Amino acid sequence: MSATPERNGAYGRVPRKEDARFVRGRGTFVDDIQLPGMLHGAVLRSPLAHARIVAVDTTAAEAHPRVEAVITGQALAELGLAWMPTISQDAQSVLATDKVRFQGQEVAFVVAQDRYSARDALELIQVEYEPLPVVADAQRALETGAPVIRDDLPGKTSNHIFDWEAGDKAATDAVFAAADVVVGQDMLYPRSHPAPLETCGMVADSDPVSGRLTLWSTSQAPHAHRTVYALVAGLPEHKIRVVSPDIGGGFGNKAPIYPGYICAIVGSMKTGRPVKWVEDRSENLMSTAFARDYHMHGEIAATADGKVLGLRARVLADHGAFNATAQPTKFPAGFFHIFTGSYDLRAAHCEVTAVYTNKAPGGVAYSCSFRITEAVYLVERMMDILARELGMDPAELRMKNLLRPEQFPYTCPTGWQYDSGDYPRALALAMDIAGYDDLRREQAAKREHGEYMGIGISFFTEGVGAGPRAHMDILGLGMADGASLRVHPTGTAVLGVSCQTQGQGHETTFAQIVAGELGISPDDVEVVHGDTDRTPFGLGTYGSRSTPVSGAATAMAARKVRERARIVASAMLEVSPDDLEWADGKWRVCGDPEKAKGIAEIAMAAHSSLELPAGVEGHLDSEVVYNPPNLTFPFGAYICVTDVDPGTGQVSVRRFIAVDDCGVQINPMIVEGQVHRGLADGVGMALMQVIAFDADGNCLGGSFMDYLLPTPVECPSWELGETVTPSPHHPIGAKGIGESATVGSPPAIVNSVMDALAPFGVRHADMPLTPANVWSAIQGRRLRTDLAVT
Amino acid sequence: MQITISVNGSAYTGEVEPRLLLIHFLRDQLGLTGSHWGCDTSNCGACVVWLDETPVKSCTVLTAMADGRRVLTVEGMERDGRLDPVQEGFARCHGLQCGFCTPGMMLTARWLLDHNPDPSPEEIREALSGQVCRCTGYENIVRSVRWAAQQRGGDGHGGHRLAPGGAQ
């Protein structure tokens, strides 16, 4: 650990390099790219959730004067591309050949000379469907006689995907049997969608002469996508270049490969011209990776005085029509089994059963750190339910059971090794900022005259920054990331990284990391990312991987440069390298601070005619691959204050206090921005949004009129605090922050609303806590928020 | 159909399809890609531009409806090589992350400050409530607009009316 706070002044609230172009409207997003001769693609989608395809007639569409190509599933089948592998070792239909399995599924692709003609031609394609019975309710997917959705899979006779478990069942059963108190609760983490403002899209440019394929793509993982295209389509990988230009938000939505990308590539290869495909908002919401959809039953065991002993969870996971969840191979339920959270308990066991339904595929997306959202929600709801059962204050219950600082590194009952933390300090700080005791007094006074305010707490621990590669891979690609650092003769530098910013400010923070290690200005470091031709291989940005993995790679690359510089400096100063010390951003002779050389002088010397000693070839450049030894474990304590109108069920978030610990912060301004974003996510998920379905499998969240996003009016002015517990194994002590608040905030909001509704005897209601849902809960009626019918 | 539209002070005359949306005219025909398309349903505000003196969602305005009128886009906010205080405020106060919603946010914020030079945080939130940002949680957007408001009169640049087109 060498986390020096000052880092030569490079760390801190440095304004973002990115903003100069964005505030002028000069960013370059995929849909901004115009190439000579470019055509436009559009996808025909199924209106039905489950139906056999009897016939597809494209004659009229092909006759459209501005149409260049129409591609059907049959045509793709002839190329061996009608199906593609998913990240979860399943197959997903690119364009349907046999059946459609969810509303919005891809059926045909039109390539036309302009956007509008492509859409016009979709109307000219005649598809004859034979409707089939629909499975829209995950809880009925395994019933005898349920229609089998995946009859394409040999021998498949049910909608069952997998059973998976973690923890020690016998030990957990024993703890529960001996406990004074056991409480259980059913809860749904509803299907949500990351809904970045920029939808997914691609410009595919196949050069028939050179065989080069250039793909401008909304991708959070350009290198991994390139490899998958090579493997799926049999294209030579060295001829494929994936470019992720500016990305208009990702949040997990842009990690997978979608059928539209394949269609754009095939369209370009078929026409010999560039093809742009950009989905519309409904296509984005109805067909691309959703998140959550976990039907959970939690049980918690404790002593009568509030010592938590054990935790159990049973989960029914709705994976939609294709198992396309995106997580490391060994973990079909993601990292859900970190569900013991931040507490010191004796035993835990969870089991997850996943099923197919006639809904869009996906499952791990939306800033969830591989399903830690669901895990934290479960344990934090259970803690509040237990507190109420015991008649204890939920803050007191948590304080009594939080892991103590001296327990780190701590191995939890399901095997995760938490690297570091000081949990009680974070909760105490949050309570202090909130004025917790005063809030409780105010709440009691208000209840006296029929006003209902709630105070909700959540405490979360995340595990982010996957690998190590030995335990974590995606489609066989180990989760390690590279960084390359070139230092020019004048001492400015170009860093290449495999992670992909979607707004997180990598061009700024990664320059700060290099600057901090080399004693140069962040302005003198150019960060290159999002171009497979110009950056080293790596798995990309999701699961809060950027700073924990690529940030570490960056620091290690810079330190390698620094060590080379030491050898060069020793030649310049005519001393042994052992007589040099790194201080104030320079190599200087021990005991003689006047004799010192900075990176710029050293870089020039390294490129000059200076006779260099053994061990350095003549420049300072370096390249590293960082294989994380463990995850990093950011944590935080959140407190939410809500006011609930029992007459209308309307909830307003009055205050939200968030204390986060992401270890060493490179740029606190950007850290705060990341937290703000996740807190707004929490407001959306907890109170407003769900992708629900009716009995026929019609998606009821297919536009922003139905899938509600928080605006400035629903969000309070966030109140932030921080503690800093450096990660002991990360080169700069950082832990990652991108998803913390999305993970931590929903249970704080739900706990707050349930706290407000306590006088009505309401113990639990599922998200989203819309006015209708809250009102129903007050009336003693529980809604199924994932279905149109109750 | 034939249209003439003044965009950021320059007049464009040409043939367009009657159904062509203003956002596509600006982006695809004029190459002004600073305005973004986000939702189709007038909910997100990524496509906000000014039509004469009023912010509109250009994904639900026909180009034909802008015939004979003036349009201001984000590309027209910078004047004489100087950023509008709203633009500067967003950069200084970390009012953006991915940058996709930013042009629309800034144009609405500019309109607000022209009509209410010293808005409260609540008034800013209300004025921007027709627009969605998925990255910032809005806090720093409010701070950015407040920063811009505070520049009014400070350097003679802040708070001016950004009248688009016309005699320019």
Among A658, A192, A187, A652, smallest CA distance to A384 is for A187
Q: What is the pLDDT of residues A259-290, one digit of tens each?
A: 999 999 999 999 999 999 999 999 999 999 99
**Å from B167 to nearest chain A CA?**
23
Q: CB–CB of A281 and B139 under 8 A? A: no
Q: Which residue has the higher pLDDT, B162 or A524?
A: A524
Looking at the structure, do residues A619 and A694 belong to the same domain, yes or no? Answer: no
Q: Is position A311 within any domain?
A: yes
Looking at the structure, do residues A430 and A536 belong to the same domain, yes or no? Answer: no
**Which residue in A has a C-alpha nearest to residue B131's C-alpha?**
A711
Q: Which of the four pLDDT bands, split at 50, 70 and 90, describes residue B166?
A: very low
Looking at the structure, do residues A280 and A334 belong to the same domain, yes or no? Answer: no
Question: Residue A104 belongs to what domain range?
Answer: 38-132+199-247+254-287
Q: Which of the four pLDDT bands, split at 50, 70 and 90, describes residue A1?
A: very low
Using CA atoms, how far apart are residues A596 and A617, in angstroms rounded to an integer? 22
Q: Which residues pair with A663 in a beta bridge?
A: A734
**Å from B151 to nearest chain A CA?**
17
Extents of the domains making up chain B = 2-75, 85-150
For chain A, say whether B8 makes contact (Cβ under 8 Å).
no
Residue carrying the six token digits 């990305």: A247
Q: Which residue, A263, A287, A311, sits at the end of a domain?
A: A287
Q: Is position A183 within any domain?
A: no
Residues of A in contact with B90 (CB under 8 A): 19, 23
Q: Residue A456 — φ and ψ, nearest 5°? A: -120, 140
Q: What is the pLDDT of residues B92-148, one digit of tens each?
A: 999 999 999 999 999 999 999 999 999 999 999 999 999 999 999 999 999 999 999
Q: CB–CB of B90 and A19 under 8 A? A: yes
Question: How far are the Cα atoms of A49, A121, B109 from residue A55, in angstroms, in the given order?
Answer: 17, 17, 52
What is the domain class of B2-75 according to CATH? alpha beta
Among B82, B4, B19, B167, smallest CA distance to A23 is for B82
Residues of B in contact with A34 (CB under 8 A): 28, 31
Residues of B in contact with A710 (CB under 8 A): 132
Question: How far are the Cα atoms of A472, A659, B120 from residue A687, in angstroms, in the given order?
Answer: 34, 21, 26
Q: Is position A409 within any domain?
A: yes
Q: Which residue, A287, A305, A335, sits at the end of a domain?
A: A287
Q: Is position A24 within any domain?
A: no
Q: Which amino acid is at A343?
A: Y
Residue B165 has a pLDDT of 39
Q: What is the pLDDT of residues A137-191, one digit of tens each?
A: 999 999 999 999 999 999 999 999 999 999 999 999 999 999 999 999 999 999 9
Residue B154 has a pLDDT of 45
Q: CB–CB of B34 and A281 under 8 A? A: no
By percentage, how much of chain A surpasses pLDDT 90? 96
Give the up-direction half-sphere exposure of residue A515: CA atoms within 13 A in the CB hemisphere: 23
**Which residue in A has a C-alpha nearest to residue B125's C-alpha?**
A712
Residues of B in contact with A248 (CB under 8 A): 36, 98-100
Q: What is the CATH number of the domain that holds A96?
A: 3.90.1170.50
Q: Is position A116 within any domain?
A: yes
Q: Is position A16 within any domain?
A: no
Looking at the structure, do residues A368 and A393 belong to the same domain, yes or no? Answer: yes
Residue A233 has a pLDDT of 84
Q: Which of the four pLDDT bands, split at 50, 70 and 90, describes residue A7?
A: confident
B positions 113-142 inside 8 Å of A (CB)? 121, 124-126, 128-142
Q: Is position A785 within any domain?
A: no
Under CATH, which architecture does the B85-150 domain have?
Orthogonal Bundle (1.10)
Q: Which residues of A205-219 are buried (b: 16+ CB within 10 A; e: fewer)?
A: bbeeeeeebbbbbbb
Q: Shortest CB distance from A196 goes to which of B91, B125, B134?
A: B134
**Å from A691 to nearest chain B CA?**
16
pLDDT at A629 over 70: yes
Judged by average pLDDT, the poorest of A562-571, B79-88, B158-167 is B158-167
Q: Is position A598 within any domain?
A: yes
Looking at the structure, do residues A128 and A231 belong to the same domain, yes or no? Answer: yes
Q: Shortest CB distance from B39 goes to which of A281, A502, A675?
A: A281
Q: What is the pLDDT of residues A723-765, one digit of tens each?
A: 999 999 999 999 999 999 999 999 999 999 999 999 999 999 9
Q: CB–CB of A673 and B39 under 8 A? A: no
Using CA atoms, how far apart are residues A5 and A204, in angstroms rounded to an integer? 45
- Work out how many domains chain A is built from and give that number: 3
Looking at the structure, do residues A658 and A521 belong to the same domain, yes or no? Answer: no
Mean pLDDT of all residues in chain A? 96
Judged by average pLDDT, the poorest of A93-97, A353-357, B153-157 is B153-157
Residue B153 has a pLDDT of 55
